[in-house]
């Protein structure tokens, strides 16, 4: 501040202590980093859990279906049915969790392993057959004779997609049948990879055109 003659008179200063605020900001930054690191670890853990979880579940469901087709006392048949229902529900939850985490963490990928297609189709139909028989639906399989027996691809996700489609077809079909058709498409070039089309058709309510 200067007086009327322009001479310095005095000054006014305001002092702020940012120590606590800065400390709080640092704590928030560290907490955010720890949370982000924990989230990355969780996503990495979930994304790296492969079909080792789904494989035993599929086995439980498959053997449950086989047991249900055997001659069992009514009380044991009820137990087996409970195993099937619980197994299918758990498999659906596990599939959703694993795939969501893989996609979220950018680690979703397709496998390229050799698998037996007839065996895969038999396993899928075995798991769906009980649900179809409970509603007295015919479950049919139509395959192209030109399809190779051994293929290289992602059997886990093929199984998952087919089961989702077939169970939905059974769910929304009251009478008639559910059919799984497997056919090949001609390659555009010589020695091109085998292209296979899976069709699931049913006599249910269908999907509105809209």
In the chain, the N- to C-terminal Cα span, in Å, equals: 77
**Beta strand extents in 70-191 (DSSP E only):** 113-116, 138-143, 150-153, 177-185
pLDDT for position 101: 67
| Residue 156 and residue 195 in contact, taking contact as beta carbons nearer than 8 Å | no
Q: Any idea which residue has 């055997």 for tokens?
A: 70
pLDDT for position 183: 93
Neighbour-count burial of 96, counting CB atoms closer than 10 A to its CB (0-12 exposed, 13-18 middle, 19+ buried): exposed
Q: What is the pLDDT along the chain (210 residues), one digit of tens a residue?
A: 998 889 999 999 999 888 999 999 999 999 999 988 887 777 667 666 655 677 788 788 888 888 888 888 888 888 887 787 778 778 777 777 777 766 766 666 777 888 889 988 988 888 888 889 889 999 999 999 888 888 888 888 888 889 889 989 999 999 999 999 999 887 666 666 788 999 999 999 988 888
């Amino acid at each position: 501040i200067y007086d009327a003659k322009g001479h310095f008179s005095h000054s006014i200063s305001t002092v702020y202590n940012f120590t606590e605020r800065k400390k709080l900001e640092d704590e928030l930054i560290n907490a955010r980093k720890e949370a982000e690191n924990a989230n990355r670890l969780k996503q990495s853990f979930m994304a790296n859990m492969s079909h080792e979880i789904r494989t035993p579940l599929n086995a439980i469901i498959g053997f449950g279906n086989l047991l249900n087709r055997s001659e069992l006392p009514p009380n044991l048949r009820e137990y087996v049915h409970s195993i099937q229902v619980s197994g299918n529900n758990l498999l659906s939850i596990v599939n959703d969790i694993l795939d969501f985490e893989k996609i979220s963490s950018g680690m979703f990928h397709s496998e390229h392993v050799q698998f037996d297609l007839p065996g895969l189709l038999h396993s899928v139909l075995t798991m769906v057959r009980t649900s179809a028989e409970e509603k007295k639906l015919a479950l049919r399989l139509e395959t192209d004779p030109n399809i190779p027996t051994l293929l290289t691809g992602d059997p886990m996700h093929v199984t998952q997609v087919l089961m989702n489609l077939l169970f939905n077809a059974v769910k929304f079909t009251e009478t008639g049948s559910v059919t799984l058709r497997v056919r090949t498409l001609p390659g555009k070039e010589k020695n091109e990879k085998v292209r296979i089309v899976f069709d699931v058709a049913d006599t249910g309510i269908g999907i509105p055109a809209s």
